[in-house]
């Protein structure tokens, strides 16, 4: 009777034990992750404020950059504060409901980093290859037609993936070897068959992140071909294409390595897996995106310099 009751027990409280192997050095992780979190919050907040407050920045591309900044602002807030408290005070507990909510938010916001790059690729395609139709297709009511499918796709896949996790029973252990509720980190603790969950995780990764990357690569290939055939000097266009491809390549490489490390038998240590997972979520939002889409965008850079000058001349 005792064996039956134990087997039927499903954990509802979990401990997030990422980087536990570091022992007494683990609290020192607070410093780099806090600095990245602070940089992400500050840079993306300034970027959002500038684009909203300056009417000259209300172009389709700048609005997309603003949406990227909103995603980059929300994503770290979902998991970094809990992670920092875990490093400092060893507060590792999270309920199953809280874990599922965190999982949904992380994956939902995370997918829109790549989807927004798809929309930016569309903007560049119409601006460079179809300039006469740019204003027609990039008007808000027309542009919304291009956003409907990715929004529905992302939402349905993530809801399906997370809801399936909620139906599992967790009887192996309640120790999650991660700093946040990553999909496979929780699923692998379940008893019973998890092949469907495994398949849904891979399906979400390849139908969202990989599909977006392929669409962006094809779009920019068409743009570059068009520029070379026209014989015009579009250094800005080429620079934008190459930059977006680099950002997407780095992000998808981190993400896919982290996803596949749970499914392929390899020499990946748990610490390496957790580090890669935190980097593909946090590093683009604090370093890559604000610099690539903020500092390196001429119109935004000019408005930022004006903003700094105005701050200097304000009476003390």
Q: Report CA dihedral (136, 59, 252, 19) to the nearest 10 degrees.
A: -150
Q: Is the pLDDT of residue 35 over 90?
A: yes
Categorize the per-residue pLDDT at 235 as very low, low, confident or very high, splitting at 50, 70 and 90: low
The pTM of this model reads 0.85
The CA distance from 120 to 212, in Å, is: 11
Write down the pLDDT at residue 246.
75
Residue 292: CB atoms within 10 A of its CB come to: 18
Per-residue burial over 172-197, b = 16 or more CB atoms within 10 Å of its CB, e = otherwise: eebebbbbbbbbbbbbbbbeeebeeb
240-286 residue pLDDT tens: 677 777 777 777 777 777 666 666 655 667 788 788 888 878 888 87
CA angle 176, 178, 179 (to 5 degrees): 120
Whether 158 contacts 108, CB under 8 Å: yes
The CA distance from 122 to 124, in Å, is: 5
3-state secondary structure the chain: CHHHHHHCCCCCEEEECCCHHHHHHHHHHHHHHHHHHHHHHHHHHHHHHHHHHCHHHCCHHHHHHHHHHHHHHHHHHHHHHHHHHHHHHCCCEEEHHHHHHHHHHHHHHHHHHHHHHHHHHHHHHHHHCCHHHHHHHHCHHHHHHHHHHHHHHHHHHHHHHHHHHHCCECCCCCEECCCCCCHHHHHCCCECCCHHHHHHHHHHHHHHHHHHHHHHHHHHHHHHHHHHHHCCCCHHHHHHHHHHHHHHHHHHHHHHHHHHCCCCCCCCCHHHHHHHHHHHHHHHHHHHHHHHHHHCCHHHHHHHHHHHHHHHHCCC
Categorize the per-residue pLDDT at 3 as very low, low, confident or very high, splitting at 50, 70 and 90: very low
Q: Is the pLDDT of residue 99 over 50?
A: yes
Residue 12 CA, distance from chain mean position: 27
Tokens read off for 193: 């068959």
Categorize the per-residue pLDDT at 237 as very low, low, confident or very high, splitting at 50, 70 and 90: low
162-193 residue pLDDT tens: 999 988 888 878 888 888 998 888 998 888 88
The CA distance from 288 to 253, in Å, is: 14
Q: Is the pLDDT of residue 314 over 70?
A: no
- Domains (range + CATH), the chain: 20-309 (1.20.1070.10)
The CA distance from 147 to 166, in Å, is: 29
Categorize the per-residue pLDDT at 158 as very low, low, confident or very high, splitting at 50, 70 and 90: very high
Whether 126 contacts 134, CB under 8 Å: yes
Categorize the per-residue pLDDT at 6 as very low, low, confident or very high, splitting at 50, 70 and 90: very low
Whether 243 contacts 292, CB under 8 Å: yes
**Between residues 206 and 162, which one has the greater pLDDT?**
162
Mean pLDDT for the stretch of residues 83-109 = 91
């Amino acid at each position: 009777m005792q064996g039956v009751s134990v087997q039927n027990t499903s954990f509802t409280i979990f401990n997030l034990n990422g980087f536990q192997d570091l022992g007494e050095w683990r609290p020192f992780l607070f410093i780099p992750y806090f600095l990245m979190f602070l940089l992400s919050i500050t840079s993306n907040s300034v970027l959002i404020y500038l684009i909203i407050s300056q009417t000259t920045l209300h172009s389709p591309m700048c609005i997309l950059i603003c949406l990227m900044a909103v995603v980059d602002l929300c994503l770290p807030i979902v998991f970094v504060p809990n992670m920092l408290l875990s490093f400092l005070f060893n507060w590792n507990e999270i309920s199953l409901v809280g874990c599922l909510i965190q999982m949904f938010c992380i994956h939902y916001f995370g997918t829109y980093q790549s989807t927004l790059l798809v929309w930016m690729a569309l903007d560049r395609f119409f601006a460079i290859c179809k300039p006469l139709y740019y204003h027609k297709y990039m008007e808000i009511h027309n542009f919304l037609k291009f956003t409907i499918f990715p929004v529905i796709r992302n939402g349905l896949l993530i809801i399906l993936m997370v809801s399936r996790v909620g139906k599992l029973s967790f009887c192996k252990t309640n120790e999650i070897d991660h700093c946040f509720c990553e999909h496979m980190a929780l699923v692998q603790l379940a008893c019973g068959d998890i092949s469907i969950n495994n398949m849904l995780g891979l399906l979400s990764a390849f139908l969202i992140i990989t599909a977006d990357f392929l669409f962006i690569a094809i779009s920019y290939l068409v743009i570059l071909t068009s520029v070379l055939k026209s014989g015009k000097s579009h250094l800005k266009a080429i620079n934008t294409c190459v930059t977006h491809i680099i950002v997407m390549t780095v992000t998808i490489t981190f993400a896919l390595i982290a996803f596949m490390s749970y499914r392929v038998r390899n020499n990946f240590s748990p610490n390496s897996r957790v580090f890669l997972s935190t980097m593909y979520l946090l590093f683009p939002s604090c370093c890559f995106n604000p610099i690539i889409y903020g500092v390196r965008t001429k119109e935004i850079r000019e408005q930022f310099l004006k903003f700094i000058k105005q701050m200097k001349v304000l009476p003390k």
